[in-house]
Amino acid sequence: MKRNILVLAVAALAALMVNIKAQDISFERLSAGVAEIRADSSNIADPTPAAAEIYAKAPTAQREWLILIFIDGVNNLGIAGYADKNINAMEKVGSTDQVAVVTEFGILGTDASSNNIKFQRGSKTILIKKDNLPDTVTSPVIYPSNDTDMGSAAHFVRFAQRNIRQFPAKKVAIILWNHGGGRAGIAWDDVSGNHMEVDQLGQAMSQIQRALGHKVDIFATDACLMQMAEVTYELKDSVSVIVGSEEVIPGDGYPYDKILEPLVADPGISDEALGKIIVDAYGAHYRADRTATLSALRTSALPEFLNLLNEWEQAIAADAEAFKTASAESTVNSIYDFPHGSKNRHDSKDLYDYLSNLGRSLPDGTAAATAGLALQKHIANDLIIRKTAMVPKAHGLAIYIPNLQYDSANYEKFAFVADSLWDEFIKLMMEERLK
């Protein structure tokens, strides 16, 4: 028995030596470029992750900016080719040693010849590299994931946290790309059936902020209808500058090349400066569109915004005539609403425009009129850093004003509702409607 053990042990030790030698052979990483991702491509990315991923070398000295874009194209936006169009725009500029641009995407697509639907299984994270191919995405995959749910807030958090660790930077901008629904949420995934509620988005940004150790410098939504008081307030403690649109955003979305070019040229710019660049580039790109809006706001001004809003509400509530005018259907129906232009009145309306319409009906010098002016001044001068000019009645921030029913199931979840008197004001308004 002892001899058997000895023989076997020697054999095992020999095997051990072989294994140790095997481990000395350097592991060859696969660098899988992303297949063409066109709306018409039959090369929808391989569903199974590559056997190895590219991980960046150990983090280098901090770069100036990390730009993270989470693209949920698992819906008609992906099918229509907008995701690949935007990624190609990013590739016109690419990343530098001072600005890392990282995108995770999951999309639906179609086959060019047959228009058959194609499902991408799993999502891919790519580090955007400059190329001269305007119709082909060539950036390398740095992380393929089997997680297919692009409507998941948890997935979004993992994307951000993973890349914040991987690409440390002094400043971080996060762009969430997809359909937006204002207070209804963002990032609808047609396969998982999931999307992110606004409170989930708030919690997600809070987790990301904790991982980062400071506020996220910019959070932008390349998605419709998101620039609402309720949405931005949810993010105020975790983000410094919020960029978003009160209105629907055209399918082409942000002009990413026009945003990245000035950033790469001058990477030391501040969060507010980049916020202005995004808004200006968008405004230039859509200057002929009479409905397009985009604004950047500073969250540090939101607490004072809330105070002034509450003061205005209290002044209105204390003045019976002012309240009557403020809550009249004719007043409310005259406010510029979003999305604009359909026959139905929508309940997301420009707050500044509301104050203007109301202010015209209030006697000068009354508490209600004065409070309204103070609030408008704060919105224009302190809260909104920059806004586009195509829609004069859109001043950068929308707010919920229902037409008849108060949506408590959705609205009562917002931190804005807990902290402000706005819900009381609109409920009083809705009570009037029932008389």
Partner 1 sequence: MFSPSSAGKSTMAAIMAGLLLCGILAPDLSRADTVTDSPVPGLQNSLPTSEETGFLPTKQDSRLTAYEAAISSGDPVAANNFLKDTDLINALAVTDPQKEASLKATAEALKDLKELLAMNWDDAKTNSLNKALTIRMDAVSPLSKVGVGPEPEKLLSWLAKYQPQYPKDKTEILKKAIRKWEVVFGTTTDTISVQWNPTVNVTKTEWRTLTLKERNAVITKIIDNELRTSDPDPKLLGYDDAKLAEVKKQISLAKAVEKTMNSGALTPEQLAKLSGKSLSDKVYLLGNFFDGSNISVSPELKAQISAARSSRPKEVLPSQQREILGTMLNTAVSKELAGTQAGKKVLAFYSKEAKLDIAVRPCDGTYSRYDSASGKILLDSETIQQYMRMKGYTADSLMKSKEQVAEIAKYMAPAVAYESAHQMQDIWGKKQGIYNPRAQESEIEAMSLEGIYTAEKIRKDPASKEIFATSRDFSSYASKNIAVSTKYEKSGSKAFATAVRQLYCPGLPSLSATAAQTLDAVTGELNRRAALTDVERASIDSTSRNMTEAMEMSSAELSGSVGEIQTSVLAKIQRDLSSLDAYKNRYGAADKEGRKALKSLETGMAPKSGAPPAL
- What residues from 48 to 107 belong to the interface with partner 1 (CB under 8 A)? 48-49, 51-53, 55, 57-58, 76, 79-80
Nearest to partner 1 of 62, 408 (CB atom): 408
Residue 339 Cβ, how far from partner 1 at the closest point, in Å?
Answer: 15
By the 8 A CB rule, do 128 and 139 touch?
yes
What is the nearest approach in angstroms of partner 1 to the Cβ of residue 261? 29
Q: Least separation, in Å, of the C-beta of 410 and partner 1?
A: 7
Nearer to partner 1, 165 or 324 (CB): 165
| Beta carbons within 8 Å of 385's beta carbon, 6+ residues apart | 241, 272, 275, 276, 279, 295, 296, 297, 298
Question: What count of other Cβ atoms lies within 10 Å of the Cβ of residue 135?
Answer: 10
**Beta carbon of residue 150, minimum distance to partner 1 (angstroms, whole number):** 12
SS3 351: helix
- Binder to partner 1 among 88, 95, 103, 110 (CB under 8 A)? 110
Residues 264-293 that bind partner 1 (CB under 8 A): none
166-205: contacts with partner 1 (CB under 8 A): 166, 190-193, 197
> Closer to partner 1 at the Cβ: 1 or 288?
1
Residues 6+ apart with CB under 8 A from 309: 229, 375, 420, 421, 422
- For the segment 13-42, give every residue that binds partner 1 (CB under 8 A): 13, 15-16, 18-19, 22-23, 26-27
Strand 295-298 with 384-387, pairing: antiparallel
Closest CB 58 distance from partner 1, rounded Å: 6
* Residue of the chain from 31, 115, 270, 333 that contacts partner 1 (CB under 8 A): 115
Options 165, 214, 287, 360; binder of partner 1; rule CB under 8 A: 165
Q: CA 1 to CA 55: how far, in whole Å?
A: 49
What would the 3-class secondary structure string for 244-262 be? ECCCCCCCCCCCHHHHHHH
Cα(185)–Cα(152) distance, integer angstroms: 12
Which DSSP state fits 26?
A: P
Which residues, 195 to 254, sit near partner 1 by CB under 8 A?
197
Residue among 112, 117, 318, 389 that touches partner 1 (CB under 8 A)? 117
Comparing CB distances to partner 1, the nearer of 167 and 177 is: 167
User: Which residues between 135 and 154 bind partner 1 (CB under 8 A)?
Assistant: 143-149, 152, 154
Report the interhelical angle of 82-91 vs 256-265 (nearest 10°).
20
Half-sphere exposure of 173 (CA within 13 A, CB side): 31
CB-wise, 147 or 272, nearer to partner 1?
147
Q: How far apart are CA 230 and CA 176, in angstroms?
A: 17
Residue 12, Cβ density class (10 Å: 0-12 exposed, 13-18 middle, ≥19 buried): exposed
Nearer to partner 1, 78 or 275 (CB): 78
Applying the rule CB under 8 A, the residues between 386 and 415 that interact with partner 1 are 404-410, 412-413
State the minimum distance, in angstroms, from the CB of residue 423 to partner 1.
Answer: 7
CB closer to partner 1 out of 282 and 406: 406
With binding defined as CB under 8 A, does residue 333 bind partner 1?
no
Binding residue for partner 1, selected from 85, 124, 162, 340, defined by CB under 8 A: 162
The residue count for binding partner 1 (CB under 8 A) is: 75
User: Given its phi and psi angles, is residue 81 left (phi above 0), alpha (psi -120 to 50 degrees) or beta?
Assistant: left
Q: What letters, b where the CB count within 10 A reaches 16 and e where it falls short, cover 207-246?
A: bbbeebeebbbbbbbbbbbbbbbbbbbbbbebbbbbbbbb
Kindly tell me which of 42 and 361 has the beta carbon lying closer to partner 1. Answer: 42
What separation in angstroms does the CA of 5 have from each of 8, 10, 11, 13, 17?
A: 5, 8, 10, 12, 18
Q: Which is nearer to partner 1, 200 or 356 (CB)?
A: 200
